[in-house]
Amino acid sequence: MKESRRKDTLLTAAECAERIGVTVRGLRTYEQRGLLTPRRSTKGWRLYGVKEIARLHEVLALKRFGLSLSRIAALLDGRAVDLERTLGMQQSTLTEQRERIDERLALVNAARTKLSAGRTLSLDELITLAKETKMTQTSLDLIAQRRYEQARPRKMTPIDPEVYDRYVGVYRFEAVGLTITITRDEKRLFEQVTGQASYEIFPESETEFFLKVVPAQIVFSIDRNRTANALTNHQNGIELVARRIDESEVERAADELTRRIHDNRPQPDSGVAIRRAIDESQRGEIDCARMTEPLATLALERAEAIAAELAGKGELRDVRFDGVGLNGWDVYRAQFEKGATEWRIDLALDGRIRGLFFRALP
């Protein structure tokens, strides 16, 4: 016998407003903006069921991230309710907020313990407290907002392929030290980040392009000569700007990488950086200042899971350099009390970690 469907409970506008904590006027404003489409009773009363309240949850979540109603309307236009994605966005943001608060509490507790013991705080400790325990909200909300925007469905807009010539070239992300190469193949445009595969990008407008393999977009900046002098990559809630560079710079960097791989020579200070990263990973504490923004965001999200995985391996016994990988990342072997792991690390030009990966070894 088939299980009968549970009847959808319908709320009036007043009941919906009272139970969710909004006003009836607010519900009508959302309806006028096209954000909500409540059902109607035979007498014309507005009714709200599971589908309508799920959409309302999306609207309220985006509103709390500081988006205007017109911006929310543009994001949700023509798209079905995606409660799972909204909840995922909220969960990620709340988790990061909790981790940041825990880190700040640990700093405060350590400082109070030191003062209770009759000791004084050093200048560096006071500066760290002042900087890290500010009560203002960090960019976590903005990152979540950007992720939501970046993940929305994109629609390809046909443009003249001759426009692509202005974008072809090499650009460098100064923040992470990577380059991205834009190439043209007749009526198609491609991007390739250092060490990654080449992917086609599709026009959303004459200057805005998107990838289909991942939720990411590239927006070109045009100078007076109608040539692109920079681009911005939008991905994972992060916006990274890359400036156009001469191809000779790319060739010099490639030659240096080839020599370093041939000489099996690690990047300066990568040994110190990997030991510090392993120690922080074990404790579940992430020093964002020592990482590029994209990596720091990812590390904060995964800190708890990584710490739990490493906890089962016991005490760290030894870390040794194993060589340079084909992509230029330094490879290290970390021997723990209960097993070994392989770590790969890549440093930006300013010494910050821009790439970090580990896997268990048999």
Instruction: Kindly give the confidence (pLDDT) of every residue in the chain, 362 residues in length, as a single tens digit, with 9 standing for 90 and above.
Output: 444 445 668 899 999 888 888 888 889 888 988 889 999 988 889 999 888 888 888 888 777 766 677 777 877 776 666 667 667 666 766 676 677 677 777 778 888 888 888 888 777 777 666 666 554 444 555 666 677 777 778 889 999 989 999 999 999 887 677 889 999 998 999 999 877 889 999 999 999 999 999 889 999 998 888 889 999 998 877 788 899 998 788 788 888 888 999 999 999 999 999 999 999 998 888 888 888 877 887 787 788 888 888 988 999 999 999 999 877 899 999 999 999 999 999 998 888 898 899 998 88
Find out whether 131 and 288 touch, Cβ atoms under 8 Å.
Answer: no
The count of domains in the chain is 4
Model confidence, pTM: 0.53
User: Residue 115 has what pLDDT?
Assistant: 82
Query: Hunting for tokens 């069921």 — which residue is that?
Result: 49
Q: Which residues pair with 178 in a beta bridge?
A: 173
Whether 17 and 68 map to the same domain: the answer is yes
Pair 31, 23: CB distance under 8 Å: no
Residue 147 lies in a domain: no
Q: 237 and 314: one domain?
A: no
> Which has the closest alpha carbon to 274: 316, 340, 330?
330
* 254 lies in some domain: no
Q: Give the Å distances, CA to CA, from 22 to 9, 32, 59, 77.
A: 19, 16, 12, 22
Q: In terms of domains, do 68 and 87 share one?
A: no
- Let me know whether 300 and 354 are in one domain: yes
Q: State whether 280 and 189 are in the same domain.
A: no
Look up the CATH number of the domain holding residue 179: 2.40.128.50
The alpha-helical segments, DSSP class H, found in 224-342 are: 247-263, 270-283, 293-311
Residue 237 burial (10 A CB sphere; 0-12, 13-18, 19+): buried
Domain boundary among 76, 99, 117: 76
Same domain, 270 and 356: yes
Closest by alpha carbon to 353, among 177, 107, 144? 177
Domain that holds residue 213: 161-245
| CATH number for position 44 | 1.10.1660.10
Are 61 and 105 part of one and the same domain?
Answer: no
Alpha-carbon span 90 to 62, nearest angstrom:
10
Helix (H) or strand (E) run with residue 32 in it: helix 24-32
Q: Is residue 325 part of a domain?
A: yes
203, 283: one domain:
no
Locate 186 and state its tokens: 């007749």
- What is the per-residue pLDDT for 138? 43
- pLDDT number for residue 256: 87
Residue 25 in any domain: the answer is: yes
Position 6 in a domain: no
The pLDDT assigned to 284 comes to 83
The reply to whether 134 falls in a domain is yes
Whether residue 178 is found in the same domain as residue 213: yes
Q: Strand 11-12 vs strand 238-245: parallel, antiparallel, or unpaired?
A: unpaired
Q: Are residues 66 and 112 in the same domain?
A: no
Judgement on whether residues 300 and 329 belong to the same structural domain of the protein: yes
Eight-state DSSP code of residue 162:
G
- Whether residue 200 is found in the same domain as residue 241: yes
Per-residue confidence (pLDDT) for residue 79, from 0 to 100: 67
User: Is-contact 76 67, C-beta < 8 A?
Assistant: no
Three-state secondary structure call for residue 57: helix
Q: Is residue 264 a contact partner of residue 323, using CB atoms and an 8 Å limit?
A: yes
pLDDT (0 to 100) of residue 133: 56
Judge whether 150 lies within some domain.
Answer: no
